[in-house]
Chain A
Amino acid sequence: MKNYLFPSRFKNISGLIFYLTTIIGAIIYFSGVSMDELLVMKVPAIINEPIFTNNKGIWIENGILDELITVILIISGVIHSFSKEKMEDEYISSIRLQALTWSIYVNYSLVLLATLLIFGMAYFHVMIIHLFSLIILFNLRFQLKLRSYYKSGTDEE
């Protein structure tokens, strides 16, 4: 049966990139550094509705650090989440599915709470965090469950 998973050789390197980018991205984001002023270059913009600038046209000036972090984090996160284990079997698939279900419930519960309780610019930050929260929650849950899976059965034959 087709399982749409990446080969296991991608697991470690994508994990390293994912966790490093998550930490670096979080530090930059919460430190309040304006990412639009870093790595500025001309980029194509199919849709652009500038809020604070007069940056109009198909080619606009933009700091690409935030786009770079977003792209790296999503690609590495997806590959890390859906790479096969060295011994991928049906029990691991079921653990992965349970972790995915759990993370969707938790993630959207948090979004619902935030929607009802957080307003203004703070809600904009919630939406930014929401871009990555599902994949981060899923990975944390899945790795935690995998850890107890690999620890299981060490005491008997």
Chain B
Amino acid sequence: MKNRIRVFRAELNISQEELANQMGVSRQTIHAIENNKYAPSLTLGMSIAKFFNKTVEEVFQMEEEK
């Protein structure tokens, strides 16, 4: 699953640490999500989307199967 968290974070000019604090997770978790090493739960995914004022689909996209 791909995501555009890094892009939206850059638009708001906030760090991983700040986003992590807002979401109640660690900075490493945000780092892992951004780098597609961890797919967040529905709850966390929706919270992230809500924080950026976007829909879940705008933030997270399923990678197309080859």
Contact = CB atoms under 8 A, between A and B. Distances in A.
Contacts of B37: 152
Given A157-B15, A157-B16, A152 B28 contact: yes
A87 B24 CA distance: 8
A2 B25 CA distance: 17
Contact of B40 (A90, A149, A150, A156): A90
B28 A90 contact: no
B16 A89 contact: no
Nearest to B15: A157
A148 B31 CA distance: 13
B44 interface: yes
Interface string B3-28: 00000000000011100000011111
Nearest to B23: A89
A152 B20 CA distance: 14
Contacts of B41: 90
A91 B32 contact: yes
**How many B residues touch the partner, as a band?**
10 to 19
A90 B28 CA distance: 11
Contacts, number: 38
Nearest to B30: A153
B32 A153 contact: yes
B25 A91 contact: yes
A150 B26 CA distance: 9
A150 B29 CA distance: 9
Contact of A94 (B15, B30, B38): B38
User: By CB atoms of chain B within 10 A, which of A91, A156, A157 has the most?
Assistant: A91
7 smallest A-B Cβ distances: which pairs? A153-B31, A89-B25, A91-B29, A87-B26, A157-B15, A153-B28, A152-B28
